[in-house]
Each structure stands twice: as structure tokens, then as C-alpha cells.
Amino acid sequence: MQETWRWYGPNDSVSLTNILQAGASGVVTSLHHVPTGDVWSLDEILKRKACIEAAGLEWTVIESIPLHNDIKTRSKDYERYIENYKQSLINVGKAGLKTVCYNFMPVVDWTRTNLLYDLPNKSKALRFEMSDFAAYDVYYLQRENADKDYPAAILSKAKQRFDNMSELEKELLEKNIIAGLPGGEGSYDRQGILEAITEFIQLGTEKFRANLFEFLREIIPVAEEAGVNMCIHPDDPPFTLFGLPRVVSTASDVRALLDAVPSVANGLTLCAGSFGVRADNNLVEMVKEFGDKIHFVHLRNVTREADGSFCESEHLDGDNDMVGLIQALLAEEQQRKALGKGDSNIAMRPDHGHLLGDEIGKTNINPGYSFGGRMKGLAEIRGVIHAIDSLHNRCAVNS
């Protein structure tokens, strides 16, 4: 697998030199300064590509070209935004870039309730606490009928939690949930998020899914012509939030999406942490089933809890079989090589990471994207890859 690293551009606290030092050869980034829905000009793409290459790295994956909400609802100015998206893909292809990761999550992007959760070893992790989320949704945001979306035990715990929160704690919880996270489209205020939630709830799950499929039917032929592979990121977390529709949460969802628009350009970002929050998602089996459509991989791990809460764990700890997953991905690469499918390498990046050492307390670090935590994760993943490759080579020699 090609080892890559997410970079948030020139203002990122992690420099391209840092990324090179960490051992990655590729960069995963976006043109974050371009407003959602605008065309990515060829000049801007080439400028960012040249910056990365000057540091001795390759721009391997675009993550992402964000989709305007009008596309997701197929309302208002969605036709213009789709045409802009097509032109961006054409320009990406002209620049020699081959992979675009994107998501189709409504309103909120990846969501956590605590961005600085204290671990026993004094490092800090990202955490989603179901009772805290319910406390915000039901008692602070006061979304209509929100109480019907949670079991009684969660509502009881949420009410107790809410009653014991200080105003500062409530404000921090709101900021963590709706104020925008790295990779998202921006932030909302309380009234704005209520209006957006209402619009998407009225669509319903199947209409929302149909909108995704219609989007793909329009842009995948353009991506094919441009030589670009699209790879959708799963819902994070992979269950409904705020009563919103979720359409990329399970293997069944992925199967439906790939069947709707059959094309190598219509692919998947296998995010182990997102899919892995659900115990019914078998990551190893998903690699075996969707292997040739997996264009990009996020490797991270989670510890699941019975009520739907989860915490981001060490990369080789947690409830996901990371070694088995890496083994399956390496087997997929070998199969691609045997079939002569060009570059058989699957781009991978260590996703998120604990906040460690002297980075704790710094205010310029994107949540989940510290240098030390991701470097630790990359080193652990690289060790697994090398161990599996070494064992495979020894077995080949001995046979």
C-alpha cells in the first residue's frame, strides 16, 4: 500500500517536511480555500500540486471536492453546481490526479462530542458519547420530536447529563458537534442547523439515496473520461444523527451504490474507523467483496460501546481486526498485480491519531490530525505491512 498523509494546506500545523520525515510518500489534500460549489481551476490545482512535489511528495488523493447541499437535495441551484463539479473533475484529470474521495453526508460531516477525551495514558482522543449527543439534540437544540429517536435509558442519562452541565460545557458540546470539523463544508449556528435538518428529514432515506445515485449517473461518465476514480467515504458515524438519512453506512448500502452505476470510477473509500463503529460491518469481508472498487483506505480503530458510543483507540487496538484488514488489502493488491491492472498499490493513510506529548494544549492543531499521533499510527501500520510481506515472501521461498 502507498503510505499517504492528510494535509490541510499551507496553514496546517504539520508541514510537508514533517510529512516527509514521518515516512509518507503521498499527500492527501484539498483546495480548502475554494468555496464549496465553485469550480476548481486548473491553475489552482497545478499550483497546489507543484507545492507538494517541490517538497519531494506526490499529491495522491484529493480529499475532497465537497458537494454543495443543493446537489444533495437536488433543489435550488443544483444543476449549476453539478456542472461546476464536472468541470472540476475535468481539470483534476488534466492535472494528472487520479483519485477523488468525497462524501454524501447530510448537514454534519464526521461528528464527535468530545475532541479532547482523556485516556488513561494521559493522551487525548476523539470520542462520540451517545448520551451527550442526545442531551444536545433533545434538550439544547430542542429538535422537534427528537426524544422519539432515543431509547428511554439514553434519554434518562441524557437528561441527567444535561442538568449537570455548566453553560460553558453546553457551549463546548455545541461547538464540537455543529461548528465545523476538518474536511467539512463549514459550520452552522443553532437556527441554521435546525433549518437544514428539517429539509433533509423531509427528503427521507430513499429519496436521499436516489439523489446520490442521480448525482453519480451524471458525474461518473465525466470522471471516466477524465481518468479519475471517485471513491465515496462512509457515514461517520454510520447511523442516523438528528433523524437525518444515512445511505453509506453498511455493506448493503455500498452494494446498492456500486450496482446503481457500474464503473471502476464509481468506487469506495474504505474507512475502517467509520464502517467499524458498526459491529455488523465485517471489514475483511468487505475488502473481499468490494476489492477492485476500493481506491483509498483510511486506517484507524475504535472501541465500541453497547449504546452506540465509541472512542478512537490506538491503531492496533480496539474492536476492529486491523491486522486481518491489512492482510486482506495486501491480498487484494496481489490479485490486482496478477491480473495486470496497472498500479496495484492502494493508497492508505493513518486516520486521526491521539494527541500526544508537547502537542497537548496547542490551539493550532486540527482535531484528530496531530503530527505525533498520526506518525505513531503510521509506524504501527507500516510494521504490520512489513511483517505480513516478510512472512509472505518467506512462505513463497519455502514453497
Catalytic residue positions, numbered: 233, 271, 298, 351-352, 369
Task: Answer left, alpha or beta for residue 281, where phi above 0 means left and psi between -120 and 50 means alpha.
Answer: beta
User: What is d(CA 64, CA 298) in angstroms, rounded to the nearest whole number?
Assistant: 14
Asked if 217 and 262 count as a contact pair (C-beta separation under 8 A), the reply is: no
Between CA 324 and CA 66 the distance in angstroms is 32
Angle at 104 between CA 103 and CA 109, to 5 degrees: 70
What is the C-alpha to C-alpha distance for residues 219 and 81, in angstroms, rounded to an integer? 11
Selection from 128, 43, 53 nearest residue 92 by Cα: 43
How far is residue 387's CA from residue 309's CA, in Å, rounded to a whole number?
A: 33
Paired residues of 26 in beta bridges? 4, 58
Please answer whether residues 273 and 302 qualify as being in contact, where contact means their C-beta atoms are separated by less than 8 angstroms: yes
Do 29 and 52 meet the contact criterion of CB atoms below 8 Å apart? yes
Question: DSSP secondary structure string, 285-337?
Answer: HHHHHHGGGEEEEEE--EEE-TTS-EEE--TTSSSS-HHHHHHHHHHHHHHHH
Question: Looking up cell 496547542, which residue turns up?
Answer: 362
Rg over alpha carbons for the chain, rounded to the nearest Å, is 21
